Amino acid sequence: MTRADSADCNVRDEAAYWFSRNRDPEQPTEERRRFDAWLAADESHRAEYEVLERLWRATELIPEQHLRDLCRAEVRPLPMASRRSFLQGAMAAAASVLLAAGATYLVDPFSLRGETYVTQLGERRQVTLADGSTLELNGRTRVAVKYGTDHRLVRLEAGEAMFSVTPDRARPFVVEAGPGRVTVTGTRFNVRRGAQDVRVAVESGRVLVAGERGEASRPLLAGDGVRVAASGTVGPVQRIDIATITAWRQGKLIFNDVPLAEVVEEVSRYREYPLRVAPEVARLRFSSVFRADDTNALLAALPRILPVKVRTLSDGSSEIIPF
């Protein structure tokens, strides 16, 4: 084996490791950052990783009954083999699947399309999808996109995004965000996935919002908003100020008579260390405008606006307490 062959094997091994780790829904944020750094370190890393992603997506082309038959088949011990041999075998198997489904793939190039987009703290990013739809991602956001012959699916795994959807009645655009599901054909709307709920706000067009509880979908029009609780219950539709909700796109945080607890939850998304609030002052109402990249200015102004003070704890976090 030449030195170049050895290097290729190492990259494939690393790609296989990260591909396995990224399937974990509870993957730590720090580990995800290490993966992002590895991916950006060399173009060969991205190339090998994309090969594994294509192999994984290729299984979607296998008929469901065939997959069930494979699952019921007798399990036999496999001989010891290198990871490289496994990958070569997997590539050959996937190639046969793709040949069998070649007609479908050629008719619709979206059938194997799937991407993941991630932003870090303080980063905003705009992504244009293959059909012309755009996603504007707020900081600390992670979305997975998968297009098929009869659907367009985006999974908001964390954070917040503004969606501008290209109309296509034959392929509804669906956003899954924890306990909530938003279905549209063409519109502009904002979805935020928080720790306690999912919030949907519509700028234009019409969307349908459903929860995991199986209740009837709630239709939302321009200027409407709704919350889906962690339990999967969809709350009442309310009129909202879409400009305030989407001010993050201009790097602003706008609060208009909201509880301090809600302010803390929002501001924490823009800070490296969490911000907490004491229960005694959590319900105080707050109104102001600040830059999203300077949350320290907000903390400095709070004691001048409300009867509170801010203290910094030993772990780097901050807490808002009664004055």
What pLDDT is stored for residue 101 in this prediction? 42
- Structural domains present in the chain: 3-107 (no CATH), 111-243 (2.60.120.1440), 251-322 (3.55.50.30)
What pLDDT is stored for residue 44 in this prediction? 86
Distance between CA 226 and CA 80 in Å, rounded?
Answer: 54
0.75 exceeded by the pTM?
Answer: no
- CA-nearest of 53, 234, 268, 298 to 140 is 268
What pLDDT is stored for residue 61 in this prediction? 45
Give the residues of the chain that fall short of pLDDT 50.
1, 60-64, 67, 70, 73-86, 90, 92-113
Residue 189: strand, helix, or coil? strand
Residues with Cβ within 8 Å of 146's Cβ and at least 6 positions away in sequence, in order, are 57, 113, 114, 153, 154, 155
| 3-class SS letters over the chain | CCHHHHHHHHHHHHHHHHHHHCCCCCCCHHHHHHHHHHHHHCHHHHHHHHHHHHHHHHHHHCCHHHHHHHHHCCCCCCCCCCHHHHHHHHHHHHHHHHHHCHHHHHHCHHHHCEEEEECCCCCCEEEECCCCCEEEECCCCEEEEEECCCCEEEEEEEEEEEEECCCCCCCCEEEEECCEEEEECCCEEEEEECCCEEEEEEEECEEEEEECCCCCCEEEECCEEEEEECCCCECCCEECCHHHHCHHHHCEEEEEEEEHHHHHHHHHCCCCCCEEECHHHCCCEEEEEEECCCHHHHHHHHHHHCCEEEEECCCCCEEEEEC
Is residue 174 within 8 A of residue 183, CB to CB? The reply is yes
What are the tens digits of pLDDT across the range 222-267? 999 999 999 999 999 999 999 999 999 999 999 999 999 999 999 9
What pLDDT is stored for residue 76 in this prediction? 47
What pLDDT is stored for residue 198 in this prediction? 96
What pLDDT is stored for residue 121 in this prediction? 92
What pLDDT is stored for residue 105 in this prediction? 38
What pLDDT is stored for residue 10 in this prediction? 78
Distance between CA 312 and CA 48 in Å, rounded?
Answer: 44
What pLDDT is stored for residue 316 in this prediction? 87
